[in-house]
Amino acid sequence: MTQYTDKDYKKGQPRWCPGCGDHFFLASLHKAMAELGVPPHETAVISGIGCSSRLPYYVSTYAMQTIHGRAAAIATGVKVTNPNLTVWQISGDGDGLAIGGNHFIHALRRNIDLNIILLNNRIYGLTKGQYSPTSPRGFVSKSSPYGTVEDPFRPAELCFGARGKFFARAVATDAPATIEILKAAKQHKGAAVCEILQNCVIFNDGCHDSVYNKEGRKNNAIYVEHGKPLVFGPENEFGLIQEGFGLKVVKIGENGVKLEDILVHDAHCEDDTLQLKLAMMDMQEGFPVALGVIRDVEAPTYNEAVWQQIEDVKAKKPYHNFNELLETNDIWEVK
């Protein structure tokens, strides 16, 4: 078996602003591809339009930058017609959730075997700083000088609402965790959404400051892992328990709370109630930001179902080529 390194997947010189989160993510993607070992000629990277959507130029695989908001549509066609290809879709929060929002939810509903990467910096960077579908209410930008009067999409909520079977989250500057969720997305059969939190250093720097460095994640994030207790904090001194229909942060060892009382993460549970609550936690509400694979549930994939349907129909037909088709009708011989 051929052993690959990240150099086998690198191409070109990235043209992003120094410090842009896209640089961090690209390095992690190269490493994840190498660890997965899928040959470059069996890999395709598809994007739309935006800063992050320049990424196909920097991978030595089949790659295509398409048009604004249409990455999921093109990636769907690539996967259905070439089922043996591993397909990575790269979208920003604007490209993927605004003009591309309809394609996004239907790719999830159909459960097409795509690795959908949503690079979320909560801003339109390429077009110079307009608010995006993930910008918070009140956000001041060039297109909202007095603050937006809209509530944002929360990618996890949109994913779960579209019957998504896989959702994971990582921070662009956290390479080991990013690589792990990318590998998990590839190993999942079906539509796998990875939300990558990243800064736009020019137009929205600091938007993920609470978790953008190692110290911040130690204090403000929780790494979820299937089958492991939901604990967090510098010394794993805090945990999550269920209270009524919600979650509650508790300190282990106080008020009689023991480690055995802490919820254990189940990423494979078909019922997404607790998974969604984890994904929706927010530091402003006193909860940590959940990182890692939050949901990972098996289900039939669209692309496999299409090919199986074709085979089933062919098996029932009395003809298998054009000549046989002609011979199913009356035939006259003209002399």
Residue 145: what pLDDT?
95
Q: What are phi and psi of 293, to 5 degrees?
A: -85, 110
Residue 141: what pLDDT?
92
- 124: closest CA among 84, 156, 77, 92? 92
pLDDT in tens, 134-168: 999 999 999 999 999 999 999 999 999 999 999 99
pLDDT in tens, 174-187: 999 999 999 999 99
| 247 and 241 Cβ atoms separated by less than 8 Å | yes
| 74 and 91 Cβ atoms separated by less than 8 Å | no
Percent of the chain residues past pLDDT 90, beyond the cut: 91
How large is the angle between the packed helices 71-81 and 302-316, nearest 10 degrees? 40
Q: What are phi and psi of 132, to 5 degrees?
A: -115, 180
Residue 283: what pLDDT?
67
Is a pLDDT exceeding 80 seen at residue 226? yes
When the pLDDT of each residue in the chain is averaged and rounded to a whole number, the result is 95
| Confidence grade of residue 322 (pLDDT, cut at 50, 70, 90) | confident
DSSP strands (E only) in the chain: 43-47, 62-65, 86-92, 115-120, 166-171, 192-197, 221-224, 231-232, 238-243, 246-251, 289-296
Mean pLDDT of 41-68: 97
pLDDT in tens, 83-142: 999 999 999 999 999 999 999 999 999 999 999 999 999 999 999 999 999 999 999 999
The sign one gets for the Cα dihedral 189, 195, 198, 204 is positive
| 301 and 113 Cβ atoms separated by less than 8 Å | yes
pLDDT in tens, 260-279: 999 999 999 999 999 999 99
Q: What are phi and psi of 55, to 5 degrees?
A: -55, -35
Which residues pair with residue 222 across a beta bridge? Answer: 290
Q: What is the CA radius of gyration of the chain?
A: 23
Residue 284: what pLDDT?
67
SS3 track for 212-247: CCHHHHHHHEEEECCCCECEECCCCCEEEEEECCEE
Alpha carbons 137 and 303: distance in angstroms, whole number = 38
For strand 166-171 and strand 289-296, is the pairing parallel, antiparallel, or unpaired?
A: antiparallel
| Confidence grade of residue 335 (pLDDT, cut at 50, 70, 90) | confident
- List C-alpha distances in Å: 189 to 80, 124, 147, 226, 325: 13, 31, 41, 17, 36
Q: Hey, which CATH number is domain 6-207, 3.40.640.10, 3.40.50.10680, 3.40.50.300, 3.40.50.970?
A: 3.40.50.970
Name the token pair of 250: 């508790």
Alpha carbons 25 and 47: distance in angstroms, whole number = 14
pLDDT in tens, 282-310: 866 789 999 999 999 999 999 999 999 99
Q: What are the extents of the domains in the chain?
A: 6-207
Residue 153 DSSP class: P
